[in-house]
Chains A and B, each alone.
Chain A
Amino acid sequence: MDDWRSSITTVRVVTDTATPTGAQVPLVDYLVLGAHPHLEANRCMSCGARFFDRRNACASCFGTEFERVAIATEGTVRAFTIVTFAAPGVPVPFVSAVIDCDGTSVRGNLVNVEPDPSKVTLHMPVRLTTYSMGIDDNGTEAVAFGFEPT
């Protein structure tokens, strides 16, 4: 493993020189943008196991056929932490959480909530939301997701 500090950079997006073209890209390919932003998983067609990354074979049943399925956009907080010390370039504090979205566990930040243990609770109902990460030199906007209290 490299020293953890050497692998950290933050994308410096120049927003004042670029012209927005209206084009958008998601932070990760399992975030689907559009009128109803949501997450998609690769679901094993044999056993139903869901994966956010591409898999060569299913980790659960070794099947090799997958289909894209939409994941529920509302869920409840099953675990969280408030990170106050992170790698350089990562803004703190932020709330990292595990959200149960109707049987599929999703990892994400809790947003639009104060990063304070008295404000974030286990079992808290939340929903998916998106926000802009900035526009690149080509005028393309990157969009990230988080979960906010309902």
Chain B
Amino acid sequence: MADNVWILGITMTKFGKHADKDIVDLASAAAMGALADGGVTMREMGIMAAGNLMGPGGVGQQIQKQVGQTGIPVYNVSNACATGATALRTVIMAIKAGECDMGIAVGVEKLAGAGLLGGGGQAKRDGKVWEAKGRYGAVAPTDGRIGTDTMPGTFAQIGMEYGHKYGGADFELFARISEKNHAHSTLNPLAAYSKRFTLEEIMGDMMIAYPNTRPMCSANCDGAAAAVLVSETKLRTLSLEQQRRAVKVAASVLTTDPWEEACQILPNVNTLTRNAAKQAYEAAGVGPDDLDLVELHDCFATAELVHYDNLMLCPEGGAVDFFNSGAPWRDGTTPVNVSGGLQSKGHPISATGIANVWEVCHHLRGEAGDRQIEGAKVGLAHVIGLGSACGIHVLEKSAA
């Protein structure tokens, strides 16, 4: 039986605009923060996994040059919006495999001002002659002619498809989900935006892709997060204070999307999330009812709705009723995105899959201050990247 793995130290930078810092600065701040939080140094680390999507590559070695070059293996990972979760899981697997007893995962992104993601994507053409290119033999860019390639549009359709299947999901419902997350963000000092919006303000804002208006879309921003992981055997040799603050990784799961009809034209974010959730609950020996808080991947308000269902926080088809019951508000039965979620906290892609774990750990340790979910013992962090990849981590408070 492989050893359990625990989070010994974890941190995130403030999300937002960091004009005076590059990705290495941000990642180094997060890495040094996580090491200090865990009461250890780079000397104890046996592995580093580093996630970054938009930078030049090889960010792990660049981070080492700023925080400590000890010769340990670095895994530079890239897995869309699941990159941070993948970095975390890479370190967890190395510890489970017995290759080392401590390691560090880092995720970093600079996205402030990046604008619309996912649109366009065809090579530049100079000629005035129609010429077929690519796997579809396209003679012109297809974005905007054969549907949309943009993220807001893709996830809008994903939410609308849920409404098509089960009913009850309209523009106002999606806007109210966003209202909840923005309300939650007012308690999070590390969020990129922590302003409360009225429902009218959300619905009246600039429409990006119906039914997602601007505040219903995740905020592009800069940020980093890092975690130090430790084997249970090693943890038991550390101080009582370190053991008390450590958070158990009860499940660490990564899935991709199995083939289904339609997945070639609209990514199916549901099946791989449901598959990951099933595996995670089984590994952790907990069910959705046991969760004291959930940080799920609300890259758009339309996405949050479908993941209530995919994570089985409600009966199948019951996501609209689940939201309308008040359950996912911070005083509800299953608080969802008490950090403010990606719509207000921000979404520096590769940092997201560690920052959501930090949020859950913050509550399990009883250190979340004004936004503390009282008595939180078990939480779940979920990310999904199109392509697709889904990462889920279930975290448990230390009994010590």
Contacts and interface: CB of A to CB of B under 8 A. Distances in A.
Interface in A20-78: 25-30, 49-54, 59-60, 78
Contacts of B71: none
Nearest to A11: B140
Contacts of A122: 160, 163-164
A93 to B, nearest CB: 8
Interface string B109-147: 000001111111111110111101001111111111111
Interface residues of B, number: 57
Contact of B210 (A9, A81, A89): A81
A80 B208 CA distance: 13
Given A54-B135, A117-B210, A142-B139, A81 B121 contact: no
A108 interface: yes
B129 A136 contact: yes
Contacts of B216: none
B174 to A, nearest CB: 11
Nearest to A133: B140
A51 B264 contact: yes
A5 to B, nearest CB: 7
Contacts of A78: 161, 164
B23 interface: no
Interface string A79-111: 111111111011110101110000111111100
B262 interface: yes
Given A14-B128, A117-B171, A87 B140 contact: no
Interface residues of A, number: 62
A4 B119 contact: yes
A75 B171 CA distance: 24
A122 B132 CA distance: 33
Nearest to A50: B261
B171 A29 contact: no
Contact of B143 (A29, A86, A98, A144): A86
A144 B265 contact: no
A7 B153 CA distance: 19
Given A29-B137, A96-B153, A11 B125 contact: yes
Contacts of A85: 116, 150, 152, 206-209
A52 B265 contact: yes
A86 B114 contact: no
A144 B9 CA distance: 55
Contacts of A52: 136, 264-265
Interface of A: 1, 3-5, 7-14, 25-30, 49-54, 59-60, 78-87, 89-92, 94, 96-98, 103-109, 117, 122-123, 133, 136-138, 140, 142, 144-145
7 contacts: A7-B123, A11-B140, A13-B128, A52-B265, A83-B148, A83-B153, A105-B266
Interface of B: 53-54, 114-125, 127-130, 132, 135-148, 150, 152-153, 156-158, 160-161, 163-164, 171, 206-212, 259, 261-262, 264-266
5 interchain residue pairs of minimum CB distance: A29-B137, A90-B144, A87-B119, A81-B156, A105-B262
